[in-house]
């Protein structure tokens, strides 16, 4: 594949912030996580309640983030 997608976990975090909070909360309550799917490259980005709390606070600061870049 010559096409390279520029999506990222952070980018989808930005998308998550644009969603209504109550909708995100409902998904977390039902599934325990939010699964964002990139149509272009097929990558799944999964956010749990901790991730979403961090996103709403203003993004990951690295302290309580278990994602390794």
Q: Are 7 and 49 in contact (CB under 8 A)?
A: no
Q: Are 61 and 53 in contact (CB under 8 A)?
A: no
Among 33, 40, 48, 65, binds Zn ion (CB under 5 A): 40
Residue 41 touches Zn ion, criterion: CB under 5 A: yes
Closest CA to 38 of 10, 66, 2, 58: 10
Min. distance of Cβ 36 from Zn ion in angstroms? Answer: 10
- Which C-beta is closer to Zn ion: that of 9 or that of 49? 9
Among 5, 15, 19, 53, binds Zn ion (CB under 5 A): 5
Residue 36 touches Zn ion, criterion: CB under 5 A: no
């Amino acid at each position: 594949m010559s096409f390279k997608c520029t999506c990222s976990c952070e980018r989808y975090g930005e998308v998550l912030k644009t969603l209504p909070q109550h909708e995100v909360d409902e998904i977390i309550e039902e599934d325990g996580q939010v699964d964002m799917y990139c149509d272009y490259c097929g990558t799944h980005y999964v956010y749990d309640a901790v991730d979403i709390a961090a996103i709403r606070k203003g993004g990951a600061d690295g302290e309580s983030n278990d994602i390794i870049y």
